[in-house]
Amino acid sequence: QILLAEQLKKRVHYQKNDYYNRVSRYSFEQIVKNTVTIVCELYLLLDQVDDAIRFFKDNDTELFSKPDPVRKYRDLLGLLDKHTIRDAWLREYALAIQKGIAMTPRNEALFQHLKKHGAFPDEDHPLDFDDLKCRIVYVLR
């Protein structure tokens, strides 16, 4: 009976700690992602675009959750968009499409905008979702 009681205590202890372990794993993963983003921002500020992309791809991994290539490319394209690095953005977008990764609606619209205007959206040429909305509605029906 004592042995059984000790085993039950251990089981409860593990279950209790499992929640805390999941929370701490998530927090640690967020710290790693934030650090990778900061280092990439520094590379981009120094105009070392290829180094920034390489660092992001090598280090932005899901440590404990399952890999999400859509999120990974969304974040990378977001960084390149933020720093208005058109050629690298188009190159990484094309790479993602070649790999069969589905793009977010915003990135699809941004790609169409870059093809049409040759530059990132601004006040004179805002991002247009009209064509994209029609395709999304059609898919949902």
User: pLDDT per residue over 57-94, tens digit each?
Assistant: 988 766 666 778 888 899 999 999 999 999 999 999 99
Q: Are residues 63 and 89 in the same domain?
A: no
Residue 101 confidence (pLDDT): 92
Q: Are residues 115 and 78 in the same domain?
A: yes
- CA separation, residue 5 to residues 1, 17, 48, 66, 80 (Å): 6, 18, 60, 36, 57
Q: Are residues 101 and 112 in the same domain?
A: yes
Q: Are residues 60 and 76 in the same domain?
A: no
Contacts of 103 by beta carbon, 8 Å cutoff, 6+ apart: 70, 73, 93, 96, 97, 111
Q: Are residues 115 and 47 in the same domain?
A: no
Q: Are residues 108 and 123 in the same domain?
A: yes
CA angle 20, 62, 32 (to 5 degrees): 75
| Residue 107 to residue 84: CA distance in whole angstroms | 14
> Total domain count for the chain?
2
Mean predicted confidence (pLDDT) in 115-127: 84
Range of the domain at 127: 69-141
Of the chain, the percentage scoring pLDDT greater than 90 comes to 36
Q: Are residues 7 and 37 in the same domain?
A: yes
- Examine the fold and report which residue of 26, 48, 67 is the final residue of a domain before the chain moves on: 67
Confidence of residue 131 (pLDDT cuts 50, 70, 90): low
Residue 66 confidence (pLDDT): 75
Instruction: Take residue 115 and report the two structure tokens written for it.
Output: 């093809």
pTM value is 0.72
Q: Are residues 87 and 121 in the same domain?
A: yes
Q: Are residues 81 and 54 in the same domain?
A: no
Closest C-alpha among 27, 33, 43 to residue 71: 33
Confidence of residue 49 (pLDDT cuts 50, 70, 90): very high
Q: Are residues 75 and 139 in the same domain?
A: yes
Q: Are residues 80 and 141 in the same domain?
A: yes
Work out the burial of residue 71: count CB atoms within 10 Å of its CB; fewer than 13 is exposed, 13-18 middle, 19 or more buried: middle
Confidence of residue 141 (pLDDT cuts 50, 70, 90): very low
**Average pLDDT of the residues of the chain:** 79
pLDDT exceeds 90 at position 97: yes
